[in-house]
Amino acid sequence: MTKEAVSIRDLNYSYPDGTVALEDINITIEEGERIAIIGQNGAGKTTLFLHLNGTIKSCDNNVVIFGKDIGQMKSKERIEKVGVVFQDPDDQLFMPTIFDDVAFGPINMGLDEDEVERRVRSALATVGLTGFEDRVPHHLSYGQKKRAALAAVLSMEPRILVLDEPTANLDPMNRASLIELINDLNRDKGITTIVAMHDVNAVSQLADRIYVLNKRMVAEGPPTEIFMDFDLLRENNLDAPDVFKLFSVLSCFGFNCESLPLSINEAVEVLTKTIEGDEKHVHLHIHEHTHEDLEVLMHRYDHHHG
Amino acid sequence: MTKEAVSIRDLNYSYPDGTVALEDINITIEEGERIAIIGQNGAGKTTLFLHLNGTIKSCDNNVVIFGKDIGQMKSKERIEKVGVVFQDPDDQLFMPTIFDDVAFGPINMGLDEDEVERRVRSALATVGLTGFEDRVPHHLSYGQKKRAALAAVLSMEPRILVLDEPTANLDPMNRASLIELINDLNRDKGITTIVAMHDVNAVSQLADRIYVLNKRMVAEGPPTEIFMDFDLLRENNLDAPDVFKLFSVLSCFGFNCESLPLSINEAVEVLTKTIEGDEKHVHLHIHEHTHEDLEVLMHRYDHHHG
Amino acid sequence: MHISDGVLSLPVVAAGWIITVALLVITLRWGERDKSIAEQIPKLSIMTGAFFVASLIHVSVGPTSVHLILNGLLGVVLGVLSYPAMFIGLTLQALLFQHGGLTVLGVNTMIMGVPGLISYAVFKTGYKRNISLTALGALCGALATVLAVILLAVVLVTTGEEFVAVAKLAAVAHVPIMIVEAIVTGFVVAYLAKVKPELLPVDLGDKR
Amino acid sequence: MDYPEIDRYASLDSPIHRFDPRAKIITFVLLLISFVFVQKISVAFLALLFSLLLLLVSKLPIRFILKRVQIVLIFVLPLLIIMPLTVKGTELFSVFGISATREGLWYASLIVIRSMAAVILILTMLGSMRFDTTIKALYTLKAPKTLVQMLMFTYRYIFVIIDEFLSMWRAMSAKGFNPRTNMYGLSVMGNMVGMLIVKSYERGERVYQAMISRGYTGNPKTRTAFAMRRTDYVLSAIFVGIAILVHINTVMM
């Protein structure tokens, strides 16, 4: 049986000025899962993340990490369990050198010098920044900063890795390599990964299960299920991945497949399988309801009338 | 005959520290065109934009706007011709209230009070922020700030509108409405629009012609042509839109169409047209070269080996 | 250590305004040597904001907590324009947070700003004598605090003999603050030297 | 770290809120200058009462005022203890051989009352109009342009910089940083201040470019729709009268 990595029960949180940020949040995440939390700006993602590693303390002891209330943990234990990488790397790199930044967590954990050194080297190697120890973080490119910020959390060797918008503003190469890196950490080291993302086109590459947050948890399920639910997307100002939309369009032309793909790679698989399964060919045709279906579909995807 | 809105000849620019930012830039943009400039971070987009409205002055008189050297223009003429909206709205909303911010340009142009007032109202109405006159920037959401920054440029009623990453970090609804707004300005008021974008999935919605910048102008052409050129994309670390990729995939399964679509809406059109033109149906099938073609295609789109 | 309204006597308050107005005029003129002040206003204002926010940071010293002052650092980074920056910073502190008063703005700016100007001179001179930047930063941080305390004491005692004991106590209370200021300013200068050397009033071209 | 919410209650409605901003600033500053130099405790007390009256009329919430008055009290209340014990004069009472003097107590009380009157005046003035209105009023009152502009831009960007600071602080806490006053803690703080300065410097450059591309010439104007009404003149006359009266009274007695 897998262990419960995160268990949140009836979490409520309001900002000091009284605005409700989180309401009745219930989450259970098993160890090793890949989770995405999606939701529009101001849905409460950052606030939730700050609860996850105890930076904001809930009074009701309702955030439990690996069976233990995070409010009861010492700082060292807390940050060893959950590492949070925030969106803007400039907010997280404030030391004069990359080494200092990556060593920051381990030093706060009270580790001895050799161990700090080892962890820094290892974290930098993981993100592909070996040799950057003495560089000034502020002078790096955006993609490098993003990876340095990740290294600065990996050096604490957390069991749960939380990332806020890991792919935002990255160019394709950096995005692809960061996604691969996060998945490697999940697969090879068994790290539970929780990402918050806007970019629905990349969500399915990083998550097997999605939570939709809008102050409350409005939905939960595998990506395909979430993206099928037009009303849910509309109400929460979310988009479906382009590939998914396109296959919905294809289905109006009579293309039938078991489950709609979410990425190009999945699309190739689905196409190959469907066509092979269907005596090597598939008919796309305009039937009685095609135009009508298309119209309904496109209207649903149109965010102007949201 | 249409007029030349922008003409840049052999523009070179180096930062004070000697780093080359722009090299041998040549651009010609006709009035009313919709142009996108794409390129990775640090490709020189911002520097180019600062030349376009004369914030950085070139010594060689090689930036010509509507037939006139921008170096020779007075401030008022300059800002009436070209308006630049930068990426971070907080950098552009520097006045105490939204009214003051939107009125800033018109007042500097020396317009009288009534005209300033009229322009502010009109610009705010255009971006959908009527009634926000007395709000302070700090209390706006990111999407509202983005629109306020656009209004602050629209109030100068520029003939050419330059936008740096207009859709970055916006949620789907805000993104869709901003894209529509920019296109309305182009269509209804004949404003020439030039956008810099990362988000290739949205590029085709905002541009009929693309320049690829990487210190030099490495390519120029309509979106379909640019996205067809795998080597160009690879070398400049750019991605093709997902819809475009998917139709490349479909073409491996024997789907033939005149030009590959770039967005969902285009995809629907292309599918309808192709299927209707082809006796109401299209065969997707696995032929001799399908698997091989797919492999080559997917490898080309894979950015890990970049 | 900003003085509130209602504490000082009329002659002291008036003298403070005369000195501050004079120094504002002089420093703003001087700051215009290379570039018009209009060109510098946006950057100067936003950096003033950064110093303002930095001065809201609490540092716990023993049982109490103190705010960073950073007037030495302000002098080092902004040069002569640190004086108007200090004036604006103190105006906002008085208006937004009631740290210090309005009528005493002249005096308070003098107490903080003059040591800032002196720090600037010391930093430039010290650099020519090859003192390490970090040490210089620490020196300026400490010096600016000490000078500010001396000026504070002078201002209080000039107002009335009744303040002699208060001034002494204030001086003693500022010893730990001086140490904190020295250390923090030293580290900030070291950081700037590495990350953004053009923010320091010295040419590091040959030493980097 | 909190946002400076001095104008949180600017949207309330009261005669003080409706008072013309320019007249408000001039008359309140006059009252302020007048009150802080009062030499008699009795008169100072009356001044304090008058400030409280204005506060009452302004309907500003008491909690808003108390939180801010407290800051001034921390500075001036110790005088009430130190001065009686250290200032020479007539003994008032003596405990354990330490005597407190009437002169010390009198002088400290005068200061405390004056500064209370002052801070309440300032809070009533600032709390009853939006801060941007205050800045604009200073503009129209021909305060030095350079300084008013700096005040305006600095105020605008304080909010942005506080957000940057809070994000950095959160990231540091998430990595187990405990702000302690030792060499390590102060070095981290130094780096953080350094980072804030660097970021602001770079933002300053971007903002300047944005201003230039909108025709900045060094003199941004803002819209003001101030208009003096009869009540404004009456109020002004009363306030100026009181400001003078307080001192005529002192001189005559």
Q: pLDDT tens for residues C179-191?
A: 999 999 999 999 9
ipTM over 0.95: no
More confident residue, C77 or D218: C77
* Minimum distance, in Å, between the CA of residue D1 and any CA atom of chain B: 16
Q: What is the pLDDT of residues B190-237, one digit of tens each?
A: 999 999 987 888 888 899 999 999 989 999 999 989 998 888 988 888
Q: How many CB atoms lie within 10 A of CB D61?
A: 12
Residues A271 and A200 in one domain: no
Q: φ, ψ for residue A285 (rounded to 5)?
A: -145, 160
What pLDDT, on the 0 to 100 scale, is given for residue C207? Answer: 44
Residues B162 and B289 in one domain: no
More confident residue, A302 or D180: D180
Percentage of chain B modeled with pLDDT above 70: 97
Q: What is the pLDDT of residues C129-173, one digit of tens each?
A: 888 999 999 999 999 999 999 999 999 999 988 889 889 988 998
Q: How many CB atoms lie within 10 A of CB A12?
A: 15
A247, closest residue in chain B (CA to CA): B246
Residues A223 and A259 in one domain: no
Tokens encoding B3: 């007029």
Domain boundary among B235, B265, B292: B235
Q: How far apart are CA C11 and CA B300, in angstroms?
A: 80
| B156 has a pLDDT exceeding 90 | yes
| D142 has a pLDDT exceeding 80 | yes
Q: Once rounded to an integer, what is the mean pLDDT over residues A252-264?
A: 82
Place of tokens 């950064």: C50
Residues B157 and B289 in one domain: no
Q: Once rounded to an integer, what is the mean pLDDT over residues A127-132?
A: 94
A155, closest residue in chain D (CA to CA): D175
Tokens encoding D192: 């953080």
Q: Once rounded to an integer, what is the mean pLDDT over residues D221-230?
A: 81
Q: How far apart are CA C8 and CA D114, in angstroms?
A: 10
More confident residue, B292 or A225: A225
Q: How far apart are CA C59 and CA D186, in angstroms?
A: 9
D203 lies within 8 A of chain C by CB: yes
Q: What is the pLDDT of residues D95-114, one digit of tens each?
A: 777 788 888 899 999 999 99
Task: Identify the architecture of domain C10-207 in CATH.
Answer: Orthogonal Bundle (1.10)
Percentage of chain A modeled with pLDDT above 70: 97
Q: Residue A150 belongs to a domain with what CATH number?
A: 3.40.50.300
Q: How far apart are CA B224 and CA B260, in angstroms?
A: 7
- Residue A306 domain flag: no
What pLDDT, on the 0 to 100 scale, is given for residue D37? Answer: 93
Tokens encoding A230: 């037009």
Which residues of chain A does C190 touch, with a Cβ-Cβ cutoff of 8 Å? 96
Q: Once rounded to an integer, what is the mean pLDDT over residues A137-163?
A: 94
The total domain count for chain B is 2
Residues A97 and A126 in one domain: yes
Q: How far apart are CA C171 and CA C185, in angstroms?
A: 20
Place of tokens 């309440």: D120
Q: What is the pLDDT of residues A175-227, one digit of tens each?
A: 888 999 999 999 999 999 999 987 888 888 999 999 999 999 999 999 989 99
| Nearest alpha-carbon partner for B137 in B96, B173, B102, B175 | B96
Q: Once rounded to an integer, what is the mean pLDDT over residues A24-34?
A: 94
Which residues are registered as beta bridge partners of B244?
Answer: none
Which residues of chain C does D147 touch, with a Cβ-Cβ cutoff of 8 Å? 24, 84, 87-88
**Residue ranges per structural domain of chain C:** 10-207
Residues A123 and A27 in one domain: yes
Domain boundary among B235, B260, B282: B235
More confident residue, A266 or A36: A36
| C34 has a pLDDT exceeding 50 | yes
What pLDDT, on the 0 to 100 scale, is given for residue C20? Answer: 97
Residues A29 and A160 in one domain: yes
What pLDDT, on the 0 to 100 scale, is given for residue D163? Answer: 92
What pLDDT, on the 0 to 100 scale, is given for residue A193? Answer: 96
DSSP class per residue in A139-202:
GS-HHHHHHHHHHHHHTT--SEEEEESTTTT--HHHHHHHHHHHHHHHHHH--EEEEEES-HHH
- Residue A247 domain flag: yes
What pLDDT, on the 0 to 100 scale, is given for residue B295? Answer: 81
Residues B252 and B189 in one domain: no
DSSP class per residue in D24-80:
HHHHHHHHHHHHHT---HHHHHHHHHHHHHHHHHHT--HHHHHHHHHHHHHHHHHHH
What pLDDT, on the 0 to 100 scale, is given for residue D6? Answer: 87
Residues A250 and A199 in one domain: no
Residues B145 and B270 in one domain: no
Which residues of chain A does D188 touch, with a Cβ-Cβ cutoff of 8 Å? 94-95, 104
- Residue B190 domain flag: yes
Q: Once rounded to an integer, what is the mean pLDDT over residues B259-284?
A: 80
What pLDDT, on the 0 to 100 scale, is given for residue B43? Answer: 82
- Nearest CB neighbour to B298, from listed A172, A242, A268: A268
Percentage of chain D modeled with pLDDT above 70: 98
Q: Is A211 helix (H, G, I), strand (E, B) or coil?
A: strand
* Minimum distance, in Å, between the CA of residue B69 and any CA atom of chain A: 34
What pLDDT, on the 0 to 100 scale, is given for residue B180? Answer: 92
Model pTM? 0.91
C185 CB contacts (<8 Å, ≥6 apart)? Answer: C70, C72, C73, C76, C137, C138, C140, C141, C142, C144, D190
Percentage of chain C modeled with pLDDT above 70: 97
| D252 has a pLDDT exceeding 70 | no
Domain that holds residue B266: 242-301
| C206 has a pLDDT exceeding 50 | no
- Cα dihedral across residues A40, A44, A50, A52: positive or negative: negative
What pLDDT, on the 0 to 100 scale, is given for residue A132? Answer: 94
Q: What is the pLDDT of residues C88-129, one digit of tens each?
A: 999 999 999 988 899 999 999 999 999 999 999 999 999 988
Domain boundary among B208, B235, B262: B235
Residues A193 and A282 in one domain: no
**Distances from the Cα of C71 to the Cαs of A219, B219, B264, C79, C115, in angstroms?**
53, 52, 58, 11, 7
What pLDDT, on the 0 to 100 scale, is given for residue B306? Answer: 42
Chain-wide mean pLDDT for chain C?
A: 91
Q: How far apart are CA A39 and CA A217, in angstroms?
A: 10
- Nearest CB neighbour to D192, from listed A90, A94, A109: A94
| Nearest alpha-carbon partner for A160 in A184, A191, A187, A137 | A191
**Distances from the Cα of B216 to the Cαs of A192, B17, B57, D190, in angstroms?**
43, 19, 19, 41
Q: Once rounded to an integer, what is the mean pLDDT over residues C50-67?
A: 85
Residues A285 and A261 in one domain: yes
CB A8 within 8 A of CB A194: no
